[in-house]
Amino acid sequence: MKPAAPAVAVATLLLAGAVGCSAGDASPEMEPAAAAVARAAKSSDGITSFRYRITGTVPETGRVHGEAAMNVEPLAMSMRMTAEDRADDGQVEIRLVDGAMYIGGGAEAAKETDGKSWIKFDLSATGADGELNSEQLGGGQAGKNPAAESTFLTGSKDVKKVGSETVEGVRTTHYNGTVTLDALEKSFDKADKATREKRQKSIEQYEKMGVDRLTMDLWVDGDDHTKRFRMRGDADKGPLDMTITFFDVNKPVTVAAPPARDVADLAEMMKDGGA
């Protein structure tokens, strides 16, 4: 059973970016635009929860949009994602709570699971051959903080101020630049091992897509918080163009598991199926 497979794939991609991934403090010798971007990256360390909107285009899947909310510690997340060019199976809801990920496939999914519209993935589960793990179930991506991807612009050598703009009623400063994944990885060298590993994971999905250079736009508010960012790049199977807008930063986020009567447990399904 593959409930809303395109939207699930997009959700997995968009939930990438390591928690606490920042560029550090701005140094005095930085250009003003680069220093402002560095301060915005540093401020991501203090984010404990947020809501966000996703819009754009993803290779193979096409146009997507979604809304989500995340609590960083303890980790909890909910997301509704729609692949607009996949009318038949393009909608999905994902919840990550209490160490498990739930994927809602709606009425169509329920036809294949005895009327249960949700599938539960225990992120610590492994198959008999060890091939089923949290990374393949999406847990490796769903446990990350998407706000951290805005820090990618700190790896740019050509970042510049575009001007002042209002985003969702908030006055912001717009910055733009390009960054290669090679330069981004090199910028991780000064970080400690744990931080370096988190940052490396935050770009792996782009490497797998064949993206080697990103054009980024960043909108920063008066408190040095990222309000919106846009990432564009050429992947092996088409253009990538995603925009994420943030709301309700550091306001409480509560996520509840679906009712047990509506949930099919993947581990039990595999056990019953002998796979």
- The predicted pLDDT at position 1 comes to 47
Contacts of 8 by beta carbon, 8 Å cutoff, 6+ apart: 2, 81, 92, 94, 103, 138
For the segment 241-273, what is each residue's pLDDT rounded down to a tens digit?
999 999 998 899 999 999 998 888 877 766 665
Beta-bridge partner residues of 4: none
- The predicted pLDDT at position 198 comes to 64
Give the domain extent around 111: 5-273
The proportion of the chain whose per-residue pLDDT surpasses 70, expressed as a percent, equals: 68
Task: Give, in order, the Cα–Cα distances in Å from 234 to each of 177, 220, 238.
Answer: 16, 25, 6
Asked if residue 48 lies in contact with residue 249, where contact means CB atoms within 8 angstroms, the answer is: no
Asked if residue 235 lies in contact with residue 59, where contact means CB atoms within 8 angstroms, the answer is: yes
Inter-helix orientation angle 193-209/5-14, to 10°: 140
- Tokens read off for 69: 């909310």
Asked if residue 175 lies in contact with residue 37, where contact means CB atoms within 8 angstroms, the answer is: yes
| Average pLDDT taken over every residue of the chain | 77
For the segment 169-199, what is each residue's pLDDT rounded down to a tens digit?
999 999 999 999 888 877 777 666 766 666 6
- The predicted pLDDT at position 266 comes to 79
Furthest-apart CA atoms within the chain: distance in Å: 63
- The predicted pLDDT at position 19 comes to 35
pLDDT category of residue 231 using cuts at 50, 70 and 90: very high
Asked if residue 15 lies in contact with residue 202, where contact means CB atoms within 8 angstroms, the answer is: no
Please compute the mean of the pLDDT values over residues 151-176 and round it to a whole number.
Answer: 93
Distance of CA 263 to the CA centre of its chain: 25
Task: Give, in order, the Cα–Cα distances in Å from 223 to each of 2, 36, 49, 173.
Answer: 42, 11, 16, 11
Please compute the mean of the pLDDT values over residues 89-103 and round it to a whole number.
Answer: 84
pLDDT category of residue 18 using cuts at 50, 70 and 90: very low
pLDDT category of residue 134 using cuts at 50, 70 and 90: very low
Please compute the mean of the pLDDT values over residues 20-36 and round it to a whole number.
Answer: 60
- The total of structural domains in the chain comes to 1
- The predicted pLDDT at position 243 comes to 94
Say which CATH number the domain at 170 has.
2.50.20.20
Q: With 70 as the cut, is the pLDDT of residue 91 above it?
A: yes
pTM for the whole thing?
A: 0.78
Please compute the mean of the pLDDT values over residues 13-29 and round it to a whole number.
Answer: 44
The residue that leads in pLDDT, 184 or 34, is 34
CB-based burial of residue 273 (10 Å sphere; 0-12 exposed, 13-18 middle, 19+ buried)? Answer: exposed
- Tokens read off for 71: 């609590």
Tokens 């040095």, residue located: 224
Q: With 60 as the cut, is the pLDDT of residue 21 above it?
A: no
Q: With 50 as the cut, is the pLDDT of residue 12 above it?
A: yes
The residue that leads in pLDDT, 222 or 145, is 222
Question: Minimal CA–CA distance to 10: which of 86, 61, 47?
Answer: 61
